[in-house]
Amino acid sequence: MKRVVWFVCVGLVAVPSLSAQEPKLRATLEGHAYPVFCVAFSPDGKTLASASGDGTLRLWDLATGRNIATFPQRPAPFSMTFSPDGKTLALGSSRIRTVSGSDGAKVSDDSLHSIDLWDVAAGKPIAVLDGHRYWVKSLAFSPDGKTIASGGFDCTVRLWSVAERKNVAILKEHLSVVTSVSFSPDGKTIASGGFDCTVRLWDVATRKNTATLDGRAGEISSVAFSPDGKTVASANANHTITLWDVPSGKSIAALKGHTGAVSSVAFSPDRKTLASTSRDGTIMFWDVASRKNTATLRRTGSSTDVSYSPDGKTLASSSTYGDKTIKLWDVGKK
């Protein structure tokens, strides 16, 4: 099953905040020539990585806002994540192979879609992990850096040994595209969400599906563990965010406010705030304890991804069609 969703984005307007610390635009990072699909902060918080439909991975110095490196990555990656030590970037992409046809002619075969590992300091690829049958939609490193989890358009979650550079498990319970994967802070559990409208929890050691969370909220675009590992948030097609209690596997709250499908969710490092972005053109901030919307940034289009810096003081949001930029927001206490 192949499915690609494109969004349109122009302009950006902040609406009144309900919180004392209103998010403020700090910087706009320009350079990509096409929509920016995903963003990720380095573990030390000094660098932001962005991947775009223009076929490039870019690294940005957050102190200056300058593009410090550009790596070619074709076809364009849909997913990206830093290793915990910040030395490696994993990107989900397609690697077109040239093979011989039955008549001896050379033909292209893009049936294998890869995870490319890049040495950040050297700016060079160091390994290719082949196995997914279609695009790799989501990636996550385990907290110890030894394992990569990936979710793909082939409806599987896969686990990869970083040291051995090989696939060590294929988790097949999802019935449609796996859009998002997230490790728990202790590395023992993986949450995955997909177009089959479920969030699934997996025991990393046994590789078993331990819980299936079905809130009938439509397709799931993003899942995120809270920093304490007790809660999973899911971004839902029915315009809501669901908070799930991990020990019981039950829904504990539905956050309502978006008027379009929710694209991405991210917890602040202190767990107090959840950020979400939607096709309705808004970025919303939620107080996790009270479950109330505390601030809203309104766009005339949509953003596909939001990510908190490790210190929780900055939120990065990626753009889609329109300005093709990354926005950096001051969101933490001074």
Highest mean pLDDT, choosing among 15-19, 102-106, 110-114, 300-304: 300-304
Do residues 139 and 90 lie in contact, with contact meaning Cβ atoms separated by under 8 Å?
yes
Work out the average pLDDT over 69-81.
81
Enter the DSSP assignment of 8: B
pLDDT mean over 48-68: 92
- Residues facing 56 on adjacent strands: 72
Q: Which of 169-178, 245-254, 296-305 has the lowest mean pLDDT?
A: 296-305
Q: At 194, list the tokens.
A: 């997909």
Write the DSSP symbol of residue 23: -
| 188-234 pLDDT tens trace | 999 999 999 999 999 999 999 999 998 677 899 999 999 999 999 99
Of the given ranges (14-28, 40-54, 229-243, 281-295), which has the lowest mean pLDDT? 14-28
Q: What is the mean pLDDT of the chain?
A: 86
Tell me the two tokens of residue 37: 């699909």
> Which of 41-45, 69-73, 149-153, 168-172 has the weakest average pLDDT?
69-73
The single residue listed with the structure tokens 């953003």 is 303
- Comparing 78-82, 255-259, 286-290, 319-323, the range with the smallest average pLDDT is 319-323
Of 321, 327, 275, nearest to 53 by C-alpha is 321
Q: Tell me: cis bond preceding 75? Omega within 30 of 0 counts.
A: yes
Q: Which residue has the higher pLDDT, 333 or 107?
A: 333
User: pTM above 0.75?
Assistant: yes
- pLDDT of amino acid 107: 45
Residue-range domains of the chain with CATH: 12-329 (2.130.10.10)
Question: Does the pLDDT of residue 273 top 50, yes or no?
Answer: yes
Residue 240: which pLDDT band, with cuts at 50, 70 and 90?
A: very high
User: How far, in Å, CA of 279 to CA of 268, rounded?
Assistant: 21
Q: How far is Cα 25 from Cα 38, in angstroms, rounded to an integer?
A: 19
User: Which residue, 154, 143, 204, 160, is CA-closest to 176?
Assistant: 154
Lowest mean pLDDT across 23-27, 73-77, 199-203: 73-77
Confidence of residue 302 (pLDDT cuts 50, 70, 90): low
SS3 call for 83: coil
What pLDDT band is residue 98 in, cutting at 50, 70 and 90? very low
